Structures are given as C-alpha cells and as structure tokens.
A and B are shown apart, each in its own frame.
Chain A
Amino acid sequence: MSPADTASTLVSFRDVSKVFETGNRRRRRTVTAVESVDLDIRRGEIFAVIGYSGAGKSTLVRLINGLEPVTSGFLEVAGRRVDGRSETQLAPVRRDIGMIFQQFNLFTSRTVAGNVEYPLKRAGWSAENRKARVAELLEFVGLTERAGNYPEQLSGGQKQRVGVARALATSPELLLADESTSALDPETTQEVLGLLRRVNRELGITIVLITHEMDVVRAVADRVAVMDGGRVVEVGSTAEIFAHPKAETTRKFVSSVMRTVPREDELATLRRDHPGRLVLVDVSDQNRIGEVLSAAARDGLRFEIAFGGISILQSHTFGTLTLSLDGPEDAVTRAVDALRTVTTVQEVSA
C-alpha cells in the first residue's frame, strides 16, 4: 500500500535523502544534498521549489526523474516507484516526464525541428506522425517559421521555447523546469513563464519549477516549497507563503520582492519624521483599515501612512502598512482598539 494513493498526488517524497560521496578511497567525504524530505506534488499544479544556490533544490528535482538516484526513502511518480531503480528501469518513467534546463541543452547538431523530433524518434513514432506532431508543437511555442534553424541561430528565449516543445513532444504528465529562466533577461523570462503557464492551463501538465527568484514564484506558482540546507523548511500556497512566511529563509525570500516592513535604519527615519505612535497593520482581503481610520479621524485622530505596500497575489490582497497615529491619547487608544477588531496590529517599539 503506497502512501500516495490519492488520485490528486502525482509525485510523493517520503523521508527522501540524497547523499553524495566525494573524494578518493582514503579520504571519503559525504555531502547530504537532500535530507529527509516529505513532499506531495498534486496533479495539475505549478509547484515551485525555491532556495539559495546549494540548498539542494536542483538535486531534489533530479531525483524525480532519477537523473540522480535516491540514497534513501520512498519516491513515487504517477504510481511508479523511482527510488532503487536502475537506469534501464527508469526509461519508461522518464518518457512520461519532460525536462527543461537552465542552459537549454539543445542538440547543436540538429535543427529546431530535429530537436523536437528527437524524442519522438526514440519513442518509435512513424515519420508521418512525427512530422505532424513537430508542426503542432512548434505552433504551440510560436516557432513554426524557425523549424529549419539551428539552435545557435536562436535567442535565449527562443532556445528555451524549443526546449519546452522538445520536453512536451511525447505528451508527458509532468514537466520539470530546472532554473529554466535563470539564464534569461527579465523580458524573456516573462515570455517563457507565460509559456509555462499555458502548458499548465491549456495542456493540464503538472510543472515542478526550480528557482532562486521569488518573482518567478509569484508569477506562476500555485504552491511553493522553500529549501534550505537540503531540507524543505516550509511548504504552502504561494499566497500563504507571501502573506505569512514562517521560516527565516522564507521571510528573506519574501522581503526580497515584497518589502513592506521597514528595516531598522528606515524606522529611525520614520521616528524622526513622525511624532505619533507607530504601528504595523496587516492588510488582507477583508479588513477595512481605511474605513476604521476615517471613523477614528472624526473622533479626533490624526494619522499618516508612513511606509508599506499592498499587492495582489492569486486574487488575494495582502500587505503591511506602517501607520503614524497622533492626536489626543484616548483617541489614539480607541483607534488602535478599533484596528485590532479588523486586523493584527503590531506596535513599533520605540
């Protein structure tokens, strides 16, 4: 009885570890790249794995298609065991998993069409069917007129689109994207992310995406796992992770793109400029902070929005504001109490 029998789970990790052995016979050293990971990736989602370099995220994704063998633990993809399988036994599993790479890894000796056709040839498709499928895939990624070009004649974004077409050739259920936009400029990154979103929405393909950029997570991911030192330190929906990051690493990642809480040095400036009481309030879908403040203003409160940011993610509003509250002391107290009824209020210590 496997632990991942639910129809909605596509990839499941149970206490999975990966240990690399380096060095020679006399001085053997071991490096634990992935440590005791439990993770379920659901059918149809875009699942991001974020972490700094060396966090083990690239190794983690390579375990899924067996490019790196699991050292210990249980790993299953679409009901098929991956751990403990030989290279030959893994071949059928891999045919149902597409993969794209940071450096694209296209065959330089083959044309764009030849690259896309290659996996079909290996899968034994007839020449006629291959031709039709290649045309369909190139159409999907918008490179029909580039079919006869060689990879070296393409831009980075175009190369990655060929990579996507090639990875999807045999209609896999799962697409692994290893830092697939890290070698691209911001504009091209958006273009490739847009394509990945289409792959997910239009073709229903589950995507596991490795990145070190929170912007990428925000743009496409439904759920995200944060890795640090080989461990998954936090998993949650992207909205959850952005709104309420728990682990220290997660907070750092979130603040890399969403800096809504002032730093120490900024606080000093805020205190200098605002004589009132400084409080941090969380903004979310429901709360009506403006309404509360305007009512409090009628009560004699003087307030100022001193710092903060509000954003929308997966159709959820979230953010943090730093408010400066001034005026008669009882009016300020009443205002804080009123705010507490709609959101969390945190005093900024003097």
Chain B
Amino acid sequence: MMDWSTLGPQLLSATGQTLYMVTVTLVLAGLIGLAVGVGLYVTRRGNILQNVVVYTILNVVVNFVRPIPFIILLAALGRVTEGVVGTRLGPNAAIFAMTIGATFAVARIVEQNLMTVDPGVVEAARSMGVSRWKIITTVILAEALGPLVLGYTFLVIGITDMSAMAGAIGAGGLGDFALRLGYQRFNDEVTWAAVIVIIVLVQLVQFFGNWLARRIMRR
C-alpha cells in the first residue's frame, strides 16, 4: 500500500510544476511561433510580402529543428541552455528547450491554418487600401482565428508531452513524478496517478479549446 499522505502533496506540487512549464512555454512558443508562422505565410510566393530568400531561410530552419525528437533536442541544447538560463536542470531549463522545440511546431501549425484563408478576402482588403500590417492582423489572423485556436489546443497536448520528457532531466513536474517515484520504484499505482492527472488536464484543455473555437466559428 502506498503512503498517499506524503505522495499526495508531491503529486500536487508536480502538477503545479507541469502547469507552470506548459503555460510559460505555451505563451513564449505561442508568440514566437505565431511570428515565425506569419512570416512563413506572408513571404510565400504570391502572398502579400512575397520574399523568396526570407521564406527559404525560415522554411529550412523550421524543417531542420522540427524532426529532432524532443528528448534528443533537450540533450543537444544542454550547453546552450546552461549559457542562457544558467543551469541545465529544473523547470526553467526545461522551459527554454521546450520553447525552442515548440516554437517551430507552432510556426507550421500557424502557417498551415493561415493558408486556409481565402485569398479573395485578402484581395478585397487590398482593394480597400488597407496596409499590409493591418491585413495581417485584422483580416488574415481574424479569418483564421477558429482553426488557430484548435491548432493551439493541439499544441498544448504536445507541450504537456514535452514537459513529461523534460522530467527525465530533472525538470520536475508530472513526468518526473511518474518516472522517479513510479517507474524506477516499480510502483505502477504512482505512475498511473500521474497518467490520470495528465489525462484530466488534457481533457480540460481540449474541452476548453473546442468550446472556444466553436464560439469563434459559430458552428
């Protein structure tokens, strides 16, 4: 039988750490990825800021980072993380690596969702003499908002997954809890406790994301 009087608080604090890492990464990678994704979209051939050089550079960088399995990226970035954050361990070190990994995933999701925007709508805005910056913010992003919310929701799940792997390098959180207190001690009950919390978190996020996207798209 497990001693939940000590494990309980540890699970709670691990959940808190996971939420912290996921939230900060989501905000950072969400914003930087949005910028990179918009950059990919607008510089694409035929789009409003068509620029072959910029598009090719962004595209190559994204394609270079994206296929690296996160656990390897985490290890490979070790020295860089140490330089930037000051340490290779703990939640903040994990956030740095997670942000790098997630940014490029966000960029692709953003680019793909923006490509679903009807070019005719952009043309209509151009015909009104709207500046390119305003077209990006008030037409392209506004028109793609619903699918973008679903894309970001999907991403939260990916980041949660990353945070669990980061547990392996001592980032704390639910991954750390499950690995150190469950897996390494052959204690399935502890592992499954972490799994259940993650499932509940993911369900909540998915539910909220679906609700929000539905409201935006009015379907």
Task: Say which residue of A92, A105, A150 sits within 8 Å of B129 (CB atoms).
Answer: A92
5 residue pairs A–B, Cβ–Cβ below 8 Å? A91-B131, A98-B127, A106-B124, A122-B128, A122-B130
The verdict on A88 contacting chain B, using a C-beta distance below 8 Å, is yes
A262 CB → nearest B CB, Å: 44
Instruction: A88-B131, A94-B129, A108-B143 are known; give 20 further A-B pairs, CB within 8 A.
Output: A67-B126, A87-B126, A91-B131, A93-B129, A94-B126, A94-B127, A94-B128, A95-B128, A95-B129, A99-B127, A105-B123, A107-B139, A107-B142, A108-B118, A108-B121, A118-B138, A119-B128, A122-B128, A122-B130, A122-B134
The interface residues of chain A lying within 8 Å CB-to-CB of B139 are 107
Q: Which residue of A lies closest to B145 (CB)?
A: A109
Which residues of the partner chain B approach A105 to less than 8 Å between Cβ atoms? 118, 120-121, 123-124
- The residue on A at minimum CB distance from B143 is A109
Q: Which residues of A contact B127 (CB under 8 A)?
A: 65, 67, 94, 97-99, 176
Query: How far apart sit A153 and B156, CA to CA, in the bound complex (Å)?
Result: 33
Q: Is the interface of B mostly helix, strand, loop or mixed?
A: helix
Is B180 in contact with chain A by the CB < 8 A criterion?
no
Q: Which of B161-210 contact A (CB under 8 A)?
A: none
- Give chain B residues whose Cβ lies under 8 Å from the Cβ of A150: 218
A3 to chain B, nearest CB (A): 25
For the complex formed, measure the closest distance between the CB of B19 and the CB atoms of chain A, giving whole angstroms. Answer: 31
Chain B residues, CB < 8 A from A87: 126, 132
- Within 137-162 of A, Cβ neighbours of B (below 8 Å) are at 150
- Beta-carbon contacts of B136-161 to A below 8 Å, as 1s and 0s? 00110011011000000000000000
Among B127, B130, B131, B218, residue most surrounded by chain A Cβ atoms (within 10 Å): B127
- Per the CB 8 Å criterion, the residue count for chain B at the interface is 21
Q: Which 3 A-B pairs have the closest CB atoms?
A: A94-B129, A105-B120, A91-B129
Which A residues are CB-close (under 8 A) to B143? 107-109
**What residues make up the interface of B, taking CB atoms closer than 8 Å to A?**
118, 120-121, 123-124, 126-132, 134, 138-139, 142-143, 145-146, 216, 218
Residue of B nearest to A87 (CB): B132
Q: How far is the CB of A170 from chain B (nearest CB, A)?
A: 8
Complex CA–CA separation, A67 to B48 (angstroms): 11
- Contacting residues, chain B, for A94 (C-beta < 8 A): 126-129
Which residues on B sit within 8 Å (CB–CB) of A98? 127
* Chain A 97-116 interface mask (CB, 8 Å, partner B; 1/0): 11101010111111000000
Q: Please, how many angstroms separate the alpha-carbon atoms of A93 and B128 in the complex?
A: 9
Check if A39 is an interface residue, CB within 8 A of chain B: no
* Known contacts A107-B143, A109-B143; A101/B120 CB under 8 A: yes
Given that A107-B142, A107-B143, A109-B142 are contacting pairs, would A67 and B123 also be in contact in the complex, using a CB cutoff of 8 Å? yes
Q: Assess the A107–B218 pair: CB atoms within 8 A.
A: no
Distance between Cα atoms of A90 and B129 in the complex (Å): 7
For the complex, what is the distance from the CA of A108 to the CA of B131, rounded to whole Å?
20
Residues of A within 8 A of B218 (CB): 150
Nearest Cβ in chain B — how far from A68, in angstroms? 10
A65 to B138, CA, bound (A): 21
Determine the distance from Cα of A292 to Cα of B189 in the docked complex, in whole angstroms.
110
Closest residue of chain A to B131, judged by CB?
Answer: A91
A101 to B122 Cα, complex, angstroms: 12
A101→B134 CA distance, assembly (Å): 21
Query: How far, in whole Å, are A88 and B49 apart by their CA atoms in the complex?
Result: 12
List A contacts of B132 (CB < 8 A).
87
Q: Once the chains are docked, how many angstroms separate the CA of A118 from the CA of B218?
A: 20
Give complex CA distance A119, B130 in Å. Answer: 8
CB distance from A94 to the nearest CB of B (A): 3
Contacts of B134 in A (CB 8 A): 122
A103-B131 CB under 8 A given contacts A67-B126, A109-B142:
no
A91 and B125 alpha carbons, distance in the complex (Å): 11
A contact residues around B118 at 8 Å (CB): 103, 105, 108
Question: Shortest distance in angstroms between A156's beta carbon and chain B's nearest beta carbon?
Answer: 14
